[in-house]
Amino acid sequence: MDKHLGFVGLGKMGGPMASRLIDAGYQLTVCDVRQDLVDALVAKGAKAAASPQAVADAAETVLLSLPDPAVVREVALGKTGVIAGTRVRTVIDLSTTGAVAAREIAAVLAAKNIAAVDSPVSGGVGGATKGTLAVMVACPQAQFADLEPMLKTFGRVFFIGEAPGMGQTMKLANNLLSATAMAATAEAVAFGMKAGLDPATMIEVINSGSGRNTATTDKFPRAILPRTFNFGFTNAMMYKDARLCLEEATAAGVPMPVGQVVRDQWLKVVEALGGETDFSTVALFAERAAGVEVGKA
């Protein structure tokens, strides 16, 4: 494939991914609403573009890393969006939009002879920086073979299926489990603290036993016990992903009673602590409810 790529969305996930592409020898034309983020990539050798359309005028393959379905729709299909570009032939969406939006966007792009690749990622800012993300790709098999070497720049690449939306379904299932692990672990540790247990010891024991999960192995040791609450993913984004998962499960006729509780819990966290706070602060929400402080004797 062409070594010249377009990249729109240079935030917490997109910035590190775009940087890794430059380090891997790709030429990038980039765009973001924040000029400082564009400037940081230009300093590494990227070319700046004034709009998603301008990115798509410059590159045949354009990658998107954006916060929600509405923004992805606007960037991909808007008046000055990628769809208006003269050179673009493939759009790779690394965002989490849900399967419904992925299918809708793919259909509109297809009418303009532009292929849509549904390719959400998981692994957080740390994974984006280190190149250890899980990359979930849905597109025709032949196209996957062409794109896989480039996508490996981000981490481990999985072929999920050929239909648009299959990657999104995989991502939403993954993130619902992540949200569940965080919320449940926060409550369990607060419960132990209320009884006088040491939270660090609790995490160590859990990680040696059957309760081990992604919250106990990563989030608590890295961002909660040290009281930094800086894992790099917001409460609003976690709520958005849980909500999307439940909406699509309902449309598919799949009951998710546990998922409903998790979604509702994350809405309460957003309402109490704010959407832009780090999602590791779900522990603070549990602490306040229990009248304890995790990480303090």
pLDDT (tens digit, 9 = 90+) per residue, 252-287? 999 999 999 999 999 999 999 999 999 999 999 999
Residue 202: both structure tokens together: 């609790």
For 90-115, give the DSSP string: EEEE-S---HHHHHHHHHHHHTTT-E
In terms of domains, do 135 and 43 share one?
yes
Q: What CATH number should be reported for the domain holding residue 21?
A: 3.40.50.720
pLDDT (tens digit, 9 = 90+) per residue, 97-155? 999 999 999 999 999 999 999 999 999 999 999 999 999 999 999 999 999 999 999 99
In terms of domains, do 44 and 85 share one?
yes
In terms of domains, do 222 and 138 share one?
no
In terms of domains, do 42 and 120 share one?
yes
Tell me which residues are annotated as active site.
171
Residue 234 lies inside a defined structural domain of this protein: yes
Residue 16 lies inside a defined structural domain of this protein: yes
38 is in which domain, residue-wise? 4-162
Domain end point (choices 138, 162, 186)? 162
Q: What CATH number should be reported for the domain holding residue 274?
A: 1.10.1040.10
β-partners of residue 62 are 6, 91
Residue 297 lies inside a defined structural domain of this protein: no
Residue 138 lies inside a defined structural domain of this protein: yes
In terms of domains, do 156 and 13 share one?
yes
In terms of domains, do 11 and 154 share one?
yes
pLDDT (tens digit, 9 = 90+) per residue, 209-259? 999 999 999 999 999 999 999 998 999 999 999 999 999 999 999 999 999
Residue 83 has a pLDDT of 98
pLDDT (tens digit, 9 = 90+) per residue, 191-201? 999 999 999 99
Residue 249: both structure tokens together: 């499960």
In terms of domains, do 102 and 232 share one?
no
d(CA 14, CA 204): 33
In terms of domains, do 38 and 147 share one?
yes
Residue 295 lies inside a defined structural domain of this protein: no
In terms of domains, do 118 and 233 share one?
no
Residue 296 lies inside a defined structural domain of this protein: no
Residue 296 has a pLDDT of 54
Residue 1 has a pLDDT of 78
In terms of domains, do 108 and 24 share one?
yes
Residue 66: both structure tokens together: 């954006």
Does 294 score more than 80 pLDDT?
A: no
Residue 82 lies inside a defined structural domain of this protein: yes
Residue 147 lies inside a defined structural domain of this protein: yes
What pTM does this model have?
Answer: 0.92
What is the domain count for the chain?
2
Does 297 score more than 50 pLDDT?
A: no
In terms of domains, do 9 and 148 share one?
yes
In terms of domains, do 283 and 182 share one?
yes
SS3 at position 147: helix
Cα 129 off chain centre by: 13
Confidence of residue 157 (pLDDT cuts 50, 70, 90): very high
Residue 244 has a pLDDT of 95
pLDDT, the chain, mean: 96
Domain end point (choices 162, 188, 222)? 162
pLDDT (tens digit, 9 = 90+) per residue, 35-64? 999 999 999 999 999 999 999 999 999 999
d(CA 204, CA 212): 9
Domain end point (choices 101, 134, 162)? 162
For residue 17, give Cα distances in angstroms to 22, 26, 48, 72, 248.
Answer: 9, 12, 16, 17, 28
